[in-house]
A = this chain, B = another copy of it.
């Protein structure tokens, strides 16, 4: 079965900005989904901020293998309960890929536990992404580096935790660098951040970017069954201890009692 992927787009610039609308007439999310659907092993649909529950109901997340997120102008409009629902899905095993300005999205900040800030400049400068982890699955089919002729600059220091692996580092014409491909695990879920994708440039029409997107979905996908309750903290009864022990000493909790949260 194909990897069930949902591309979430906030779908705001496309509605209000002529440049973005002309680059992505069906929305950035649809362009990304189309790129993913070119891979027979991926089955991508879309969801947007404007959909009821932002298109991310409990039921839909339960049937989503990988969620892709692009947001920018309307981070604050994403409902907190949907954010918590998305994080719980990640913790239970759903893969997640954050794109570009999603560095400041609520779910990314929630999953990183850090400011996720950076420096930036919108000047149409050249970006060159270098592979830093040889033969990493996310780099499959790519040369050692590739260019995007016009992109927004994101610069270090990038306020994220040290990743499991740094996969890409970007060079910018204006003199900055950025860790543009970073992998994480949160609970049972794989998380990938990929930098490029400013809305006023044709980044999501680029063939190398398509390759990364497809590889990213494949990497983030975990075929194992979801963890049923990723927040469960079970009180193991004394008689169920793997090794026989006898209870002793003072106690605060009654047998089988729930813990505090």
Chain A interface residues toward B at CB < 8 A: 13, 17, 19-20, 72-76, 87, 91, 93, 101, 104, 110-115, 117-125, 128, 130-135, 137, 140, 144-145, 147, 150, 153, 155-159, 161-162, 164-166, 169-177, 179, 184-189, 198-201, 222-224, 227, 230-238, 241-243, 245-253, 259-261
Contacts and interface: CB of A to CB of B under 8 A. Distances in A.
A161 B133 CA distance: 9
A115 B230 contact: yes
A177 B114 CA distance: 25
Given A75-B260, A119-B234, A155-B236, 12 more contacts: A104-B259, A120-B236, A125-B245, A134-B188, A134-B227, A147-B242, A159-B231, A165-B185, A169-B177, A176-B242, A199-B252, A201-B250
A102 to B, nearest CB: 11
B119 A222 contact: no
Nearest to A199: B252
Nearest to A166: B166
Contacts of A91: 114-115, 159
A134 B158 CA distance: 9
Contacts of A75: 260-261
A176 B130 contact: yes
19 contacts: A13-B252, A73-B260, A74-B260, A93-B134, A111-B113, A111-B114, A119-B233, A120-B233, A123-B241, A123-B249, A131-B157, A132-B157, A150-B248, A162-B166, A169-B179, A174-B243, A175-B242, A198-B252, A201-B250
A198 B249 CA distance: 12
B173 A93 contact: no
Contacts of A153: 236, 241
Q: Say whether chain A's binding surface is mostly helix, strand, loop, or mixed.
A: loop
Contacts of A173: 243, 245
How many copies, total? Answer: 4
A113 B232 CA distance: 16
Contacts of A73: 260
A119 B247 CA distance: 17
A187 B233 contact: no
